[in-house]
Structure 1
Amino acid sequence: MLDALDLEKFIYNYSVGDALVNLESISHEVKLEPAPDGRSISKVISKYFTKGDVVPSEEEIKAGKERVLGMTKVVEAYLIQNPDVYN
Structure 2
Amino acid sequence: MGVSVTTITQEFISPGIAPNRLFKALFLEGHDLLPKLLPQFIKSIDRIEGDGGAGSIEQVNFTQSSHYKYAKHRITELDKEGFACKYTMIEGDPLSDKLEFIRYEVKLDGRDGGMSSICKMMSEYHVLGQYEINQEEIKSGKESAVGIYKAVETYLLENPLVYA
TM-score range, shorter chain: 0.7 to 0.9
The reply on whether 1:10 has 2:83 as its aligned counterpart is yes
Partner of 1:68: 145
The reply on whether 1:31 has 2:104 as its aligned counterpart is no
The reply on whether 1:79 has 2:156 as its aligned counterpart is yes
Deviations 1:8-49 (CA, angstroms, capped at 9, x unpaired): 111012333411232222221111001126210000011101
Which 10-residue stretch deviates more, 49-58 or 14-23? Answer: 14-23
Structure 1: runs of 5 or more not aligned: none
Structure 2: runs of 5 or more not aligned: 1-72
* Structure-2-length-normalised TM-score: 0.46
Q: State the alpha-carbon separation in 2 of the partners of residues 29 and 73 from structure 1.
A: 18
Displacement, 1:77? 3.0
Partner of 1:19: 93
Displacement, 1:71? 1.7
Structure (1/2) with the larger strand percentage: 2
The structure number with the bigger radius of gyration is: 2
* Structure-1-length-normalised TM-score: 0.78
Work out the percentage of aligned pairs sharing the same amino acid.
Answer: 40
Give the number of the structure with larger relative contact order, counting CA–CA contacts within 8 Å between residues 6 or more apart.
2
